[in-house]
Structure 1
Amino acid sequence: MGAFERAPEMRLDVEQTITTESGRPVLFVWADGGDFDAFEAGLHNDETVVDPTLMESLPEQRLYRVYVADDADTTVFPTDAEVGASRLDASFTVDGLHTRMRFPDRDALRCYRQRCAERDVEMFVHRIYRGDTTDENGYGLSPKQRQVLSLAAKRGYFEVPREISLTELADELDISAQSTSERLRRGVDQLVSATLAPESNLDS
């Protein structure tokens, strides 16, 4: 993405991906960590995207909607469906696309890698997990716990000082502050148990 030439420190986290009737991918991405003015100037001159639109602006983050250009050679999202893969998360930096994906089997992964090679897209696999080593939601989190933790992180709830209050967070989720607090507490407890607790047991 050429916009990174203007703002190389920027990081884009994909919040949602949809496809138009014509098959063109549409990305909703949260941007943070760089010069927003420089990034937006580069975004409007970027040949890989079309019609970039600012959807939401926060002190440290901005949400954009971008249509992927038809002639963007590095587009590999259509390949996901071809091999039965699903993206768990995705982010862009000046170094490229970083993503976690789920494949039905090793053959699907090999096929995906071949498709990337055919499009001259370099692909590096950093780690492979077996399907039975983690639960569907990741780290044992329920969908509601994952939702509140993700939103809290994006909105700066864990920053010092906090950029959003518990009440404001609850309003965005359309639930009570008490329910929000309980989901946060249980979610954090589950993350600690799933990540730190196993290491503690090994050390004891």
Structure 2
Amino acid sequence: MSTIAEFRVPAAETALSATFEAVPSVRFELEASVSKTLPSLWVSGVERETIEDAFAGDSSVEAFELVTRSEERLLYDIESSTAQAFYDKLLSSDGSLLEGHGCDGWWQYKMRFRSREALVETHERLENDDITVDLSRVTDISRMTTGNSRLTPEQHEALTAAFERGYFQIPRQISMEELAAELGISHQALSERLRRAYGTLVDAEVQPANEQTNS
């Protein structure tokens, strides 16, 4: 059964340490992505000229490009072999990155793993590379269902993964094929789990109203 883990690692042992030191107020957010390549970075808390000077002076950054900007944030594509190597280690045991943030010299992550064993493998891999892992929370998805839930653990897992990975967003952030691959099941199995989960949830909402009408 899938496991959700929340943890942080120091930038000094991964990437962009010099940028954090040069601009203490900077905050990063990894853009949602299903790719195995390094995600783009949303940057806030700093002006464009300041962050680009910091990137230029950071030995872990080989190249950077502004993709777009909003009133409060800047989106950059970053080329960094150091960051890519770390990202590869994170995902090498079929982990899926749900959230990623950087501030105060730390990178904070929320990830889903297919099993506790996959989480342990990732933790050991990072520790063996002298990367400190500060684990704050580990939750088995099967335990996230309440005692009154009518969903099976497998249905709950499928719905949770679909929601977290943007399957229900418009436009969709992940295809059913990609989501099924992350869960380690077939496209057909995922489709069936989601359909049954939809039916259960709709029944839970509609049935009480019908019972009141018939009473």
TM-score by length of 1: 0.60
- The match for 2:71 is 59
Residue 9 in structure 1 maps to residue 25 in structure 2: yes
User: CA separation in 2, counterparts of 1:120 and 1:49?
Assistant: 21
Check the 8 A contact 1:73/1:119 in 2, yes or no.
no
Letter in 2 for 1:100: K
Q: List alignment gaps of at least 5 residues for structure 1.
A: 20-24, 149-204
Check the 8 A contact 1:103/1:109 in 2, yes or no.
yes
Alignment of 1:10-159 (within 5 A): 10-16=26-32, 18=35, 25-69=37-81, 72=82, 75-132=85-142, 133=144, 135-138=160-163, 143-144=168-169
Give identity over the alignment, percent: 18
Letter in 1 for 2:28: L
Letter in 1 for 2:102: F
Moved over 6 A (4+): 145-148
Corresponding residue SS for 2:89: helix
Alignment of 1:174-185 (within 5 A): none
Check the 8 A contact 2:99/2:111 in 1, yes or no.
yes
User: CA separation in 2, counterparts of 1:62 and 1:91?
Assistant: 14
Check the 8 A contact 1:88/1:100 in 2, yes or no.
yes
1:113 Cα offset (Å): 0.9
1:144 Cα offset (Å): 1.7
1:138 Cα offset (Å): 4.6
User: CA separation in 2, counterparts of 1:16 and 1:28?
Assistant: 8
Letter in 2 for 1:8: P
User: CA separation in 2, counterparts of 1:99 and 1:138?
Assistant: 17
User: CA separation in 1, counterparts of 2:25 and 2:115?
Assistant: 35
User: CA separation in 2, counterparts of 1:11 and 1:120?
Assistant: 24
1:103 Cα offset (Å): 1.0
User: CA separation in 2, counterparts of 1:113 and 1:93?
Assistant: 21
TM-score by length of 2: 0.57
Structure exhibiting the larger radius of gyration computed from Cα positions: 2
User: CA separation in 2, counterparts of 1:64 and 1:37?
Assistant: 13
Q: List alignment gaps of at least 5 residues for structure 2.
A: 1-15, 145-155, 174-215
Corresponding residue SS for 1:120: coil
Check the 8 A contact 1:7/1:39 in 2, yes or no.
yes
Letter in 1 for 2:103: T
1:97 Cα offset (Å): 1.0
User: CA separation in 1, counterparts of 2:69 and 2:129?
Assistant: 35
Check the 8 A contact 1:4/1:39 in 2, yes or no.
no
Q: CA RMSD in A?
A: 2.7
Q: Cα distance 1:142–1:81, how it changes in 2: closer, same or farther (>3 A)?
A: closer
